[in-house]
Structure 1
Amino acid sequence: MNSTLFLQSDSIDPYLIYKTMLQNNPVYWDETNKIWAIYSYEDCVSILKNPKAEILDVNPGNKQKLNKTALEILNNLTRLSNGIQHEISKEIAMLLFLKMKSVDINSIISQLIKNNLVENKIDWVNSVCKTLPVLVVLKSFGFEEKDCEFISTQIESLVKIMLPQKTEEQVKSINKISEQIFSIAEKQLSSLRFFESLSPKISESNSLSLDEIKTISISNLIGLFIQSFDAGRGILSNSLLQILNNKTFSSKQEIEKSIIETLRFDPPIHNTRRIATEDIPISGSLIKKNDPILAVLASANRDPKKFENELKFDIERNNNAENLTFGIGPHMCLAKHFSIHLTTEALWFLFNELKTVEILENNIQYEPMINARLPKAIWISLQ
């Protein structure tokens, strides 16, 4: 029996593991790791929608020794909060999304390709995927060029704030970078006219001080940077691989359908964790209070009870959009539509403008992560 927890870098095809578990142990207690693993679509939905299954505290009692600024960012993120705190931070995060201005994605990706193209070759992941989504978010809020450059080059280190386990070196880097990025975000958010008028309204409706609202808002603006890096990088990488493999790039509509099917067939995020705050009966098993839970979204996305002919990459399947990659229920990722739109625009520019795009690698290597399957690099040639 394979462990329910494994590094994606160590697995050639994790879907073989998921298929076996889905068939034999769709709700499985992993005695070694002391965690419940949920593999079926129906049961994953049940867990994600269950208010008794809450987000885990990734830094209980600040054991990781984050400084004040880093701790404020972490504690106020919508993705990591529960209850009323989640409702407040989600309201603020949604307002931030609504205030994002449209930017010219084509000009940004064109410049990134121009800056990193060497002899008609480029590393798609490190040259575009890790930078484009963050730059689009930054520019949509009007950040100055020097601030865009600083944050986009440092965000990969700050993203480690989400890890439940961090090295001393990672914590040191997070503490240093978080103060700088928080200061930049605070300055820019305070200069935006919409925030000056919205802040008192949010404060009054939630009985919080203006300073508290400001801290939550800045933290969730930074959360947008983190989400855009996480989700954006993975979707841009995995979608390119599937589109090239299946040759589905004849129109923008076909590319968008391919991206949505990639989110089902080969998603960047493979699992998410919860903890039971009370006993939860599920499919003949009993998840006990305080038991940790692993919802294996990538397995649920290939559940034959939900998706017909689940092992085929089919952009015309009528329910592909019902994949669980962005979650479902109160903690569904707010970056879903933004990420799909951004990826559609970027990949359509790539295939429409450059015409000939070819992959130069036969064996893609993946990052050593448990929850996400992210290519380390994808070298392509452009003509």
Structure 2
Amino acid sequence: MKYPCVKLNNFAKKVNMISSLFLQSDVPDPYLIYENMLNINPVYWDEPNKTWAIYSYKHCVEILKNTKTHIPDINPDNVQKLNTDALYILNNLTRLSNGVEHEIAKEITTIIFSKMKSVEIGPVTAALIQNGLVENKIDWVDSICKKLPVLILLKSFSFDTNDSDFISKKIETIVKIMLPKKTVEEVNSINEISEDLFFIIKKHLSSLALESLLSSIAEKHKMTLEQVIKTVVSNLIGLFIQSYDAGRGILSNALLQIIQNKTFSNKKAIEKSVIETLRFDPPIHNTRRIATEDFFIGESLIKKNDFILIVLASANRDPEKFENAFEFNIERSNNFENLTFGIGGHMCLAKYFSIQLATEALWLLFDEYKTITILDHNIQYEPMINARLPKNIWVSIL
């Protein structure tokens, strides 16, 4: 099957010719680039960046499941000069770990999820909407998307008001710990809050009745209990980080797609729209790996230590996998097979939580307010390579 080819605008052509890496803020429509690459070079060697860029669904799945790849270290030898607590957080996150360390972190993260209590998302969303409204207008991103996911998690783990306020206010700083390149100012800001953040989370663990479970993990993996506790703390912080970025993106992008495609007739339609948005216009566009051994993808030889960019957003629009892939269709039977949350050992454990949260929040919006209008369709995006996150979405709700 031949991939459909779309004529790129001049900037997209330039980006395509020079680099597979670009800031989402610089590209009006990255899907034009992805469509072109699916057609001409789905496994592409990006010479300027010395990186393989993988665009097709089949080959992205192969890489994600390949045991000869690892997630690259974003702070080797602590070149970024993170302090002890910040470094421990970064080095013990499930999403950034490999091998045995990943399996341990994943086991611990699963335990964390088991301790979440159910929280009604609708009333929290309604309160945030009321707080953010100015003459029937609201910035959906700033008032809801940046606040709701973290707030629901904090309530799910029963953090008190003071600790919740601290974490909510500092989350925009701590998420920068995930950046592969950080400015001196960003490192200083992360270091400044990491000790307090680590202390707050660790203190709160005592209320979750985890000691016997954590002791079992420590014994099983020949770790000290303190090491296990620190790993729990790191991954609970990681959950807040992921909810802030990915949760924000799902809520933002799904709102845009639901309004544009008018798929808000009932709650089930909202849920299907959220899932289709994760395929059609996901918040996370790519992730990275490094080859630990030589292997082939199709006819291309990936050599040991080669960097690999897995373009998930391109794979999600691969017509070899999804019928009429460049159309938004909530009734497509395999929309749930999108790669936005990954696949295999590193699949995001927050997948179902994120879908439920977005569904409940958006259904509250469309059920309570009958006229919802985007006020500025010229959406600007954050200057990020891996994520496409709207800076603001001003809407009128009546």
TM over 0.5: yes
Question: What is the deviation of 1:196?
Answer: 2.1
SS in 2 for 1:242: helix
1:66 is matched with which residue: 79, 82, 98?
82
2:52 equivalent to 1:46: no
2:101 is matched with which residue: 69, 85, 97?
85
2:349 equivalent to 1:334: yes
2:201 is matched with which residue: 185, 188, 191?
185
2:27 equivalent to 1:11: yes
What residue ranges of structure 2 are gaps of 5+ in the alignment?
A: 1-16
Q: Equivalent residue for 2:3?
A: none
CA distance in 1: counterparts of 2:295 and 2:370, whole angstroms: 53
Q: Equivalent residue for 1:369?
A: 384
CA distance in 2: counterparts of 1:199 and 1:328, whole angstroms: 27
2:116 equivalent to 1:103: no
Say whether the 8 Å CA contact 2:174–2:190 is kept in structure 1: yes
Question: What is the deviation of 1:329?
Answer: 0.7
2:324 is matched with which residue: 309, 317, 336?
309
CA distance in 2: counterparts of 1:199 and 1:331, whole angstroms: 22
Q: Equivalent residue for 1:240?
A: 255
1:154 is matched with which residue: 158, 165, 170?
170
Q: Deviations over 1:147-188 (max 9, x none)?
A: 111111210110000011000000001111111111110111
2:229 equivalent to 1:176: no
Q: Equivalent residue for 2:239?
A: 224
2:281 is matched with which residue: 261, 266, 271?
266
Say whether the 8 Å CA contact 1:26–1:38 is kept in structure 2: yes
Q: Equivalent residue for 2:11?
A: none
Say whether the 8 Å CA contact 1:2–1:17 is kept in structure 2: no
2:43 equivalent to 1:27: yes
Q: Equivalent residue for 2:10?
A: none
Moved more, 161-170 or 108-117: 108-117
CA distance in 1: counterparts of 2:216 and 2:371, whole angstroms: 52
CA distance in 1: counterparts of 2:75 and 2:68, whole angstroms: 20
Letter in 1 for 2:259: L
Q: Equivalent residue for 2:183?
A: 167
- TM-score under structure 1 normalisation? 0.99
Letter in 1 for 2:347: M
2:214 equivalent to 1:199: yes
Question: What is the deviation of 1:112?
Answer: 1.0
2:233 equivalent to 1:212: no
- TM-score under structure 2 normalisation? 0.95
Say whether the 8 Å CA contact 2:31–2:314 is kept in structure 1: yes
What residue ranges of structure 1 are gaps of 5+ in the alignment?
A: none
Q: Equivalent residue for 1:287?
A: 302
Say whether the 8 Å CA contact 1:9–1:365 is kept in structure 2: yes
Say whether the 8 Å CA contact 1:367–1:374 is kept in structure 2: yes
Question: What is the deviation of 1:191?
Answer: 2.1
Question: What is the deviation of 1:2?
Answer: 4.5
SS in 2 for 1:373: coil
SS in 2 for 1:326: coil
Q: Deviations over 1:82-103 (max 9, x none)?
A: 0000000000001111210001
CA distance in 1: counterparts of 2:315 and 2:104, whole angstroms: 30
Letter in 1 for 2:93: L
Q: Which runs of 4+ in 1 moved over 2 A?
A: none
Q: Equivalent residue for 2:6?
A: none
SS in 2 for 1:56: coil
Q: Deviations over 1:56-97 (max 9, x none)?
A: 100000000000000000000000000000000000001111
C-alpha RMSD of matched pairs (Å): 0.8
Letter in 1 for 2:394: W
Aligned residues: 382
CA distance in 1: counterparts of 2:265 and 2:194, whole angstroms: 42
Question: What is the deviation of 1:197?
Answer: 2.3
What is the aligned-residue identity percentage?
68
Say whether the 8 Å CA contact 1:109–1:346 is kept in structure 2: yes
